[in-house]
Amino acid sequence: MGVKSFPLTKMRLEELAKQYPAPFYVYDEAAIRANAKKLLKAFSIFPSYREHFAVKALPNPFILKILAEEGLGADCSSYSELALADMAGIKGEAVMFTANQTPASEYQAARKLGAVINLDDITHIEYLEKHAGIPELCSCRYNPGPLKGGNLIIGKPEEAKYGFTREQILEGFGLLRAKGAGRFALHAMVASNELNLDYHLETGRILFELAVEIQDKTGVSLEFVNLGGGVGIPYKGEQEAIDWDELAQGLKKLYDSILVPAGLGGLGIHTEYGRPITGPYGWLVSRAIHTKSIYREYIGLDSCMADLMRPALYGAYHHITVAGKENAPLTETYDVVGSLCENNDKFAVQRRLPKIDVGDFVIIHDSGAHGRAMGFNYNGKLRCGELLLRPDGSVIQIRRAETVEDYFATLDITALDTFK
Ligand SMILES: *Cc1c(COP(=O)(O)O)cnc(C)c1O
């Protein structure tokens, strides 16, 4: 059970806010590095291991560069994400390109970067061949369908749009080989924000057994299995984080009992974790700018769901603390809300919190993944910037806040002048 902490004092925030007015995101570089090291150490028990950080979780090239320095690769799903990985110096097979209804131009970009292409459907083999050519190394994404239980965010695998069926995957590898591929990998991603260790071990077991079946039935010997992402983080203080060592050791047991006897003891393990890599080490810092008392008590922030959508989108819980009031008694019950014209623009509903005054810094925890990344401009909202707390205690800006000029950048205003 974890106590939620924030690495900057109220005084430091006041100082920072003079240069970078709230709201902003803050990421803790030292904590991100320490976590990446811990992950790699835990998984070093496999003959080979690679983590491809899911770029969609925190698509900032400064963060990607930090992770690359620690030895992590990238998992991309769009042209822009490939460009971000490239910017951070992540290239070649350190990049996994997980396709899904992907246009030809993006397959071509992935090929150009030398990324491992992870196919989402059997029909995409021909599509890839036609538009970008079949690479030497090909990965296929498996959807276990009714073999695997459901998960809250992704739902039941048999209702999910992703991946090949079991029959298709056996046929797919044969097809790829016939078309000239010589190296193969198997992928699955069947959960999101799942904190149950057994769920992830079960995914490992299904994939390991399938790797054996693929070898037996098609003669294709896989180079690696990619277990995808989906490892959750304890958004609530009383939840337990998944321990990297426990996860790696649990998977190793299955590896030793399923793969090794089948002669697949050299199989590499890959993952594409996003949320557990950066999620706990990012915070959205806002100021309380209004208090409102009607049928409920409200705290109005200078940020809104355009900056952090998870609570509105999934009813997700994010822990909230108030700078300088970390130990104050929780005497109030508030809805903590933003300024968007949608009633679900609430960071917290009926939350017990200390008394909040206008001007207080309100810290929204565990926002380092799928936070700023999911931001949008609905209602003309401008997304906030991102700051990085360096290991030496200094703070730098790694993305500025949007301006109204950014919002209008896609409009041709001069054409408007002559438009009648
Ligand atoms: C979103 C996603 C991930 C990362 O998921 P997390 O829950 O952030 O770990 C990995 N792989 C694929 C294909 C994804 O779509």
pLDDT for 187-224, tens place per residue?
A: 998 888 999 999 999 999 999 999 999 999 999 999 99
The string of pLDDT tens digits covering residues 351-392 is 999 999 999 999 999 999 999 999 999 999 999 999 999 999
The string of pLDDT tens digits covering residues 341-354 is 999 999 999 999 99
Let me know if residue 415 belongs to a domain: no
Residues recorded for the chain: 420
Nearest ligand 1 atom to alpha carbon 187: 13
235 and 380 in a single domain? The answer is no
Q: How confident is the model at residue 2 (pLDDT cuts 50, 70, 90)?
A: low
The pLDDT, as a whole number, for residue 76 is 98
The string of pLDDT tens digits covering residues 106-141 is 999 999 999 999 999 999 999 999 999 999 999 999
3-state secondary structure of 349: strand
Nearest ligand 1 atom to alpha carbon 369: 8
The pLDDT, as a whole number, for residue 159 is 83
295 and 395 in a single domain? The answer is yes
What is the number of other CB atoms lying within 10 angstroms of the CB of residue 58?
29
Phi, psi of 395 (to 5 degrees): -125, 130
Let me know if residue 413 belongs to a domain: no
CATH code (residue 63): 3.20.20.10
The pLDDT, as a whole number, for residue 156 is 77
The pLDDT, as a whole number, for residue 154 is 53
Task: Give the DSSP letter string of 183-227.
Answer: EEEEE----SSB--HHHHHHHHHHHHHHHHHHHHHH-PPPSEEE-
Write down the mean pLDDT value for the chain.
95
95 and 232 in a single domain? The answer is yes
Over range 8-31, report the average pLDDT. Answer: 98
Over range 244-269, report the average pLDDT. Answer: 98
Nearest ligand 1 atom to alpha carbon 193: 7
Torsional sign, CA 345, 348, 349, 350: negative
If phi > 0 it is left, if psi is from -120 to 50 it is alpha, else beta; for residue 93 that is alpha
Q: Percent of the chain scored above 70 by pLDDT?
A: 98
Let me know if residue 416 belongs to a domain: no
17 and 133 in a single domain? The answer is no
> Of 235, 255, 278, which residue constitutes the final position of a domain?
278
Identify which of 106, 138, 145 has the alpha carbon closest to the alpha carbon of residue 122: 138
Q: How confident is the model at residue 99 (pLDDT cuts 50, 70, 90)?
A: confident
153 and 247 in a single domain? The answer is yes
Do 114 and 91 touch, CB atoms closer than 8 A? yes
Do 218 and 210 touch, CB atoms closer than 8 A? no
Do 100 and 117 touch, CB atoms closer than 8 A? no
91 and 181 in a single domain? The answer is yes
Q: Ligand 1 pocket: which of 100, 247, 272, 278 to mutate (most atoms <8 Å of CB)?
A: 272
Q: Quick check: 153 pLDDT over 70?
A: no
Q: How confident is the model at residue 257 (pLDDT cuts 50, 70, 90)?
A: very high
CATH code (residue 20): 2.40.37.10
Q: How far apart are CA 209 and CA 274, in angstroms?
A: 25
- Global confidence as pTM: 0.96
Let me know if residue 354 belongs to a domain: yes
3-state secondary structure of 283: strand
121 and 135 in a single domain? The answer is yes
253 and 307 in a single domain? The answer is no
Let me know if residue 418 belongs to a domain: no
Identify which of 312, 316, 298, 287 has the alpha carbon closest to the alpha carbon of residue 376: 312
The pLDDT, as a whole number, for residue 91 is 95
Distance 5 CA to ligand 1 centre (A): 25
Q: Quick check: 150 pLDDT over 80?
A: no
Q: How far apart are CA 252 and CA 261, in angstroms?
A: 13
255 CB burial (10 A radius; 0-12, 13-18, 19+): buried
263 CB burial (10 A radius; 0-12, 13-18, 19+): exposed
Q: Quick check: 152 pLDDT over 60?
A: no
Beta strands in 277-345 (DSSP E): 282-293, 297-301, 320-322, 332-337
Q: Whose CA is nearest to atom 3 of ligand 1?
A: 229
Rg (CA), the chain: 23
290 and 245 in a single domain? The answer is no
Q: Quick check: 403 pLDDT over 70?
A: yes
Q: Quick check: 174 pLDDT over 60?
A: yes
CB of 54 sitting under 6 A from ligand 1: yes
Do 299 and 345 touch, CB atoms closer than 8 A? no
Let me know if residue 249 belongs to a domain: yes
Domain enclosing residue 81, as ranges? 29-278
18 and 36 in a single domain? The answer is no
Nearest ligand 1 atom to alpha carbon 141: 13
Distance 78 CA to ligand 1 centre (A): 13
Q: Lowest mean pLDDT of 95-104, 278-287, 293-302, 386-395, name the range.
A: 95-104
CB of 39 sitting under 6 A from ligand 1: no
306 and 214 in a single domain? The answer is no
Identify which of 163, 231, 235, 143 has the alpha carbon closest to the alpha carbon of residue 191: 231
> Of 209, 243, 278, which residue constitutes the final position of a domain?
278
Do 168 and 119 touch, CB atoms closer than 8 A? no
Half-sphere exposure of 155 (CA within 13 A, CB side): 6
The pLDDT, as a whole number, for residue 3 is 78
For the chain, helix, strand, coil in percent to 5 are 35, 20, 40
Q: Quick check: 227 pLDDT over 80?
A: yes
225 and 301 in a single domain? The answer is no
Q: Give whole-number Cα distances, 243 to 69, 118, 208, 256, in Å.
A: 23, 27, 21, 20
Q: Whose CA is nearest to atom 5 of ligand 1?
A: 229
Let me know if residue 339 belongs to a domain: yes
Domain count, the chain: 2
Distance 87 CA to ligand 1 centre (A): 21
Distance 409 CA to ligand 1 centre (A): 30
> Of 278, 295, 314, which residue constitutes the final position of a domain?
278
363 CB burial (10 A radius; 0-12, 13-18, 19+): buried
Let me know if residue 84 belongs to a domain: yes
